[in-house]
Amino acid sequence: MSDAETAENLTTLAKHLAAQDLDPGLATVLEGLALGCKAIGHRVRRARIEDVVGVAGGENVFGEIQQKLDVLSDEVLLQCLRDAPAAAVYASEEQDGPVVLRTASEGGRFAVLADPLDGSSNIDVAVSVGTIFSVLPNDKPDDETGMAVLQPGRNQVAAGYVLYGSSIVLVLATEAGVDMFTLDPMLGDFVLVLAKIEIPQEKKIYSINEAYVNDFDEGLRDYLAFVHESGYGARYIGSMVADVHRTLLKGGVFIYPATGKSPQGKLRLMYEGNPMGYVIERAGGAASAGRGPILDRIPSEVHERTPVIVGSAAEVDHVTRRTHP
């Protein structure tokens, strides 16, 4: 079979979006994000090589390169969204505030939020990193301040992430469900590899930075005692996209809790908690901020943080039943 024939038999992201009968404007936004992530993936692959070139300039160059990669990833996404006719607003971890791309009268119908390169410090040791994105409807058509991004995660119309791991994987959640694509380096396209993903309802795996145990509240320490006594396995990569991706496919629970040092948690509600919460909920799992679902949190500012407990419904319940009885 020739390459061309093989390609015809593969479901690319574009083909998949068209088949889903998705809002065409939303499809252009998602395709813009996917294009940006291909470019980011290429840069991630070359990061160390560029670092070697950069070392000639001085000892701190690695740190600067990392920052450059964060900023570069942000710029790439922004550029791709400028070219997506329905993108209204872009907000990210790297921007001070929302960037207005176009108003509703100019066709701007969706707000996009992203963590352009989550876990970027892991690039140093060739550990997986990722891009996380969230898409909300532009519910403030006449507003030019970009405050359309301040909506609860429950309003998301799509969310997902791209994992730059041993392969480049796109997980996309929409109203229709959660699908997984792998970037085929030969075709240069994301191709569908797993449709309608459902997270296992339970699995004895917990994922938390347990080194902070002395900074955890009593309920969480009770939970850790429970898992230690109950035959659980521990997995913690320290790169949220990789930890959540494993949790989605294999089950278990990923926890980044509030701690004494970070009473609101470390992870950002709009760029990390909401999109990952949406993916996990659409796949049949649970996503808690401790006191209630992450997706129900009403944001008061774009960079705010949240505790994150996501994964198999039964495993999330084991945590929240002890931390918030």
The partner in contact with residue 11, picked from Mg ion, ligand AHM, none with C-beta cut-offs of 5 to 8 angstroms by kind, is: none
Contact range with Mg ion by CB under 5 A, out of 81-89, 108-116, 209-217, 304-312:
108-116
Q: Which two tokens stand for residue 260?
A: 């004494």
Choosing from 23, 94, 115, 315, the residue that interacts with Mg ion (CB under 5 A) is 115
Binding site for ligand AHM (CB under 6 A): 115, 118-120, 209, 238-240, 243, 256, 266
Contact range with Mg ion by CB under 5 A, out of 84-92, 109-117, 189-197, 302-310:
109-117
Name which of 66 and 138 has its Cβ closer to ligand AHM: 66
* CA terminus-to-terminus distance, the chain: 59
The nearest distance, CB 246 to ligand AHM, in angstroms, is: 12
The nearest distance, CB 115 to Mg ion, in angstroms, is: 4
Name which of 185 and 238 has its Cβ closer to ligand AHM: 238
- What is the layout of strands, in order, in the sheet containing 286-288? 233-234, 205-207, 253-256, 308-311, 286-288
For residues 292 and 148, the answer to whether their CB atoms sit within 8 Å is no
Name which of 73 and 174 has its Cβ closer to Mg ion: 73
User: How far is 270 from 305, CA to CA, in rounded Å?
Assistant: 8
The nearest distance, CB 94 to Mg ion, in angstroms, is: 10
Q: How many residues bind Mg ion (CB under 5 A)?
A: 2
Q: Which residues pair with 162 in a beta bridge?
A: 131, 170
Q: Burial of 54 by CB count in 10 Å (0-12 exposed, 13-18 middle, 19+ buried)?
A: middle
Choosing from 118, 179, 189, 315, the residue that interacts with Mg ion (CB under 5 A) is 118
- CA dihedral of residues 219, 225, 227, 228 (deg, nearest 10): 160
Q: Does 94 bind Mg ion (CB under 5 A)?
A: no
Q: Which residues pair with 268 in a beta bridge?
A: 305
For residues 138 and 149, the answer to whether their CB atoms sit within 8 Å is no
List of residues contacting Mg ion (CB under 5 A): 115, 118
